Amino acid sequence: MKRTPALLSLALLCACPKSTPGQPNAASAQARAELEAAKQKAQSGDPAAQAELSRLQQQYANTDVAAEALFAQAELDYGQKDYAAAREKYRGLLAEYPLFPKADAARFHLGESALQLGDFKDALDTLSPIYDRLPPDEKPAAADALTKAAVATHAWGEAVRFLAEGLSTTTDPAAREALQSRLYDLVDAEVPQLEIAKLAQELSP
């Protein structure tokens, strides 16, 4: 049977790998091998790692390797305390690959970067929605960051809420005592009585 151009086009479309918008496509085994080599360079402190990761991001654009390479670049900047550069890369990653499997890890460090840069409202807005999804070992640091951001923006209810979260996730007695003292001082000095009554109903004893 002779195939018409329309049938040929349909066959080609069916043969193409389908991807979800925001979800990176799978890269080749060669690309993944190059990515792993670049990650090892980064872990060893090789100064050439950032340029190698940037090359992979561009060469394998729209693939999982490109997304991982951009995430690794952002993590390098974050580890070196270049929070402005890290913030830009995390934002680019989340805009281009919103379904990236490590998106919450990126958002966590994006919020921490905003906090370090003094953008407290952005830190609060970034970290608050993901707090419940974070691994247990990351929650104390996230609760501390959220408390700082909430205090800086005078979001007293949120400050109390995340100080209480810090108490619930911290096992060290000295740290718990310090958090409890901060909580009492905050409630006594800053939080309106109506907010206290509301929080008393929502928070655990």
Domain that holds residue 159: 119-205
Domain closes at, from 100, 117, 134: 117
Q: Is 60 exceeded by the pLDDT of residue 21?
A: no
Region at 155 (left for phi over 0; alpha for psi -120 to 50; beta for the rest): beta
Q: Are residues 107 and 90 in the same domain?
A: yes
Domain count, the chain: 2
% of residues, the chain, pLDDT over 90: 60
Q: Is 80 exceeded by the pLDDT of residue 199?
A: no
**DSSP 8-class letter at 117:** T
Q: Is 60 exceeded by the pLDDT of residue 20?
A: no
Q: Which of 142, 83, 87 minimizes the C-alpha distance to 116?
A: 83
Q: Are residues 125 and 96 in the same domain?
A: no
Whether 72 and 53 have beta carbons less than 8 Å apart is answered as: yes
Q: What mean pLDDT do residues 58-74 have?
A: 94
Q: Are residues 96 and 145 in the same domain?
A: no
Ranges 5-9, 54-58, 180-184: which has the least confidence: 5-9
Domain closes at, from 117, 147, 162: 117
Q: Are residues 134 and 77 in the same domain?
A: no
pLDDT recorded at residue 123: 98
% of residues, the chain, pLDDT over 70: 86
Whether the model pTM is above 0.95: no
Q: Is 90 exceeded by the pLDDT of residue 116?
A: yes
CA distances from 76 to 11, 24, 30, 80, 168 (A): 44, 21, 23, 6, 31
pLDDT recorded at residue 14: 39
* Exposed/middle/buried for residue 16 (C-beta within 10 Å: 0-12, 13-18, 19+): exposed
Higher pLDDT: 198 or 40? It is 40
Q: Are residues 81 and 108 in the same domain?
A: yes
pLDDT recorded at residue 27: 77
pLDDT recorded at residue 28: 85
Q: What are the CB-based long-range contacts (under 8 Å, 24+) for 68-74?
A: 68/35, 69/35, 69/38, 70/96, 70/97, 71/100, 71/102, 71/105, 71/106, 72/35, 72/38, 72/39, 72/42, 74/106, 74/109
Higher pLDDT: 184 or 73? It is 73
Q: Are residues 111 and 125 in the same domain?
A: no
Rounded to the nearest 10 degrees, the angle between the axes of helix 103-116 and helix 64-79 is 30
